Amino acid sequence: MISVSLSWIAEKVEGSLNTKSVEELQIKGVSTDTRTLEPGDLFIALVGPNHDAHEHLFKALEKGAAAVIVNRLVDCPLPLILVDDTKIALGKLGAAVKQEVNPKTVGITGSSGKTTVKEMVASILSVKGKVLFTKGNYNNDIGVPLTLLRLEKQHEYAVIEMGANHLGEIAYTTNLVKPDVATIVNAAASHLEGFGSLFGVARAKSEIFKGLGTTGTAILNRDSQFYSFWEGKTSHLNCLTFSPESEDGDYHAEDIAMGMDGCAEFELVCPAGRAAIRLSIPGTHNVGNALLAAAMSICVGASLEEVQLGLFNMREVGGRLNVKQLTNQVRLLDDTYNANVASVNAAIDLLATFPGNRVLVLGDMAELGDKASYYHEQVGEYAKSKGITSIYSIGVLSHYASEVFNENGFHFDNKESLVSMLNENLFGEQRDISILVKGSRSSKMELVAKAIEESPVGKFERRRERIAC
């Protein structure tokens, strides 16, 4: 964070400082968690449904906090800034720091793919200059301002991911971010308990365009069923479109070819010209993500050459559709970070491109509301239509997907039984096998992926290699 005075902070959060003697005290970091608080940090005492950080002020003092922001007067020897709402104060402070640094800013939301697009844009812009981008899952009404507070004077670009599970959340965060260019990657069945319907998702995501000024640029998914709705929301803005499926997009792809590693090569066609693109992460859906990342990066000053290099240099994102060749016969597609209908179908598309036995290992997709069983059955139907050989499922809802496969659908009560059956049914045979592991965070499917990696799958292969030597 940039170094600012305590009086500057009090002004920006519209709070009152309890003593003038420390007005010029310099703050270089902000924390909302005493476990990670560094000496000299400003501690903001957030209040939530199940916690009140005002109870930890003396812990903050012990850890070396320089001052605190509170919503009520408390008995604490540290300098206090009193505000009405500490969460709103956090947001105001993040927005003020962002305005002070004033980087070119990219805002990204969507039901799936937003983290991959964010990483792509960050990789492209890193070729050009200093970039701050969202780390991990810091994309909600707490994480976004904490991300903005990480800005330093040297940052020329900021790439901010914005998620939500209810209406109004993206409107709030995008008003803090005030991006120069913003997009919705897609809208799919996700967090339906908070949004009520698929249209509710599309409406909530469209809030990102409210933070764009008259000189900002909106980039729309030309292939989305909600394209016309979003176009209406952005009629007063400069708009560009992307489409991996047709030439209708301002940014589109030609001559798409998939490599043996599942990574795509294609010709990027856009207003800036043409460029040959080679992706380093697998999946046909990443062609669309790359087109979008290119559009956003070029809008804030990147060249086609920087787009080429940035996309090629991008490294895999943990838990997001990584292809791991376990043996000559067995490959694991680890896509365990999260799941909704769109992201599961995209992963199935990649699985379907590999030869041999194609296996989907599926955990429950969460927060799908009253139609959750229907969406799981729909995923099963889609997998079957793409030629997937079998499904191994675990969870309360995923059996609706495996039931579609009849005798080739297997459902389990625990992960140990699932992995044991995979070992018994698949790994003893000498044939090409591709296994996709997918599920929502609550399903903890990363444990299944790890168990598969640590299973006896490679024993025969390693023994054969030793004999050959």
- Residue 19: what pLDDT? 87
Q: What value does the mean pLDDT take over residues 420-425?
A: 86
| C-alpha–C-alpha distance, residues 301 and 191, integer Å | 34
Q: Which pLDDT band holds residue 318 (cuts at 50, 70, 90)?
A: low
Between 157 and 337, the more confident residue is: 157
Residue pLDDT, tens place only, 147-173: 999 999 999 999 999 998 888 999 999
φ, ψ for residue 69 (rounded to 5)? -110, 125
- Residue 191: what pLDDT? 57
* Non-local CB neighbours of 276 within 8 Å, separated by 6+ positions: 265, 266, 267, 268, 308
Q: Which residues pair with 437 in a beta bridge?
A: 334, 361
Lowest mean pLDDT among 12-16, 40-44, 259-263: 259-263
By C-alpha distance, which of 291, 288, 263 is closest to 278? 263
- Residue 195: what pLDDT? 77
CB count within 10 Å of CB 94 equals 26
Q: Which pLDDT band holds residue 438 (cuts at 50, 70, 90)?
A: very high
Residue pLDDT, tens place only, 282-298: 888 899 999 999 999 99
The position carrying tokens 């989305």 is 224
- Residue 466: what pLDDT? 38
- Residue 249: what pLDDT? 96
Q: Which pLDDT band holds residue 137 (cuts at 50, 70, 90)?
A: confident
| C-alpha–C-alpha distance, residues 251 and 269, integer Å | 6
- Residue 460: what pLDDT? 43
379 and 398 Cβ atoms separated by less than 8 Å: no
Residue pLDDT, tens place only, 212-239: 988 899 999 999 999 999 999 998 899 9
Quick check: 188 pLDDT over 90?
no
295: its two tokens:
């559009």
Q: Which residues pair with 132 in a beta bridge?
A: 158
- Residue 464: what pLDDT? 40
Lowest mean pLDDT among 37-46, 199-208, 300-309, 325-334: 325-334
82 and 70 Cβ atoms separated by less than 8 Å: yes
- Residue 375: what pLDDT? 92
Q: What value does the mean pLDDT take over residues 4-18?
A: 97
- Residue 334: what pLDDT? 92
Percentage of the chain surpassing pLDDT 70? Answer: 94
State how beta strands 251-258 and 263-270 pair: antiparallel
The position carrying tokens 């940039």 is 2
| C-alpha–C-alpha distance, residues 448 and 213, integer Å | 46
Between 310 and 281, the more confident residue is: 310
CA angle 69, 131, 296 (to 5 degrees): 110
Quick check: 385 pLDDT over 90?
yes
Lowest mean pLDDT among 26-35, 314-323, 367-376: 314-323
**The length of the chain, given as a count of residues:** 469
Residue pLDDT, tens place only, 409-421: 999 999 999 999 9
CB count within 10 Å of CB 72 equals 12
| C-alpha–C-alpha distance, residues 152 and 1, integer Å | 5
Q: Which residues are annotated as a binding site for ATP?
A: 110-116
Q: What value does the mean pLDDT take over residues 131-145?
A: 95
Q: What value does the mean pLDDT take over residues 322-330?
A: 85
Percentage of the chain surpassing pLDDT 90? Answer: 74
Q: Which residues are annotated as a binding site?
A: 110-116
Quick check: 430 pLDDT over 70?
no
DSSP helix, strand, coil percent of the chain (3-state; round to 5): 40, 25, 35
Quick check: 461 pLDDT over 50?
no
Please give the single-letter amino acid code of residue 353. Answer: T
435 and 326 Cβ atoms separated by less than 8 Å: no
Sorted by where each starts, the structural domains of the chain and their CATH numbers stand as 4-87 (3.40.1390.10), 102-313 (3.40.1190.10), 322-459 (3.90.190.20)
Task: Determine the distance from the C-alpha atom of residue 305 to the mean position of all C-alpha atoms in its chain, rounded to a whole number.
Answer: 26
- Residue 465: what pLDDT? 41
45 and 20 Cβ atoms separated by less than 8 Å: no
Quick check: 462 pLDDT over 90?
no
Residue pLDDT, tens place only, 20-59: 889 899 999 999 999 999 999 999 999 999 999 999 999 9
Q: Which residues pair with 184 in a beta bridge?
A: 109
- Residue 429: what pLDDT? 60
Q: Say what the alpha-carbon torsion angle 373, 374, 375, 380 is, to the nearest 10 degrees.
A: 90
- Residue 427: what pLDDT? 66
> Euclidean distance between the first and final Cα of the chain, in Å?
56
Q: What value does the mean pLDDT take over residues 335-360?
A: 91
- Residue 192: what pLDDT? 66
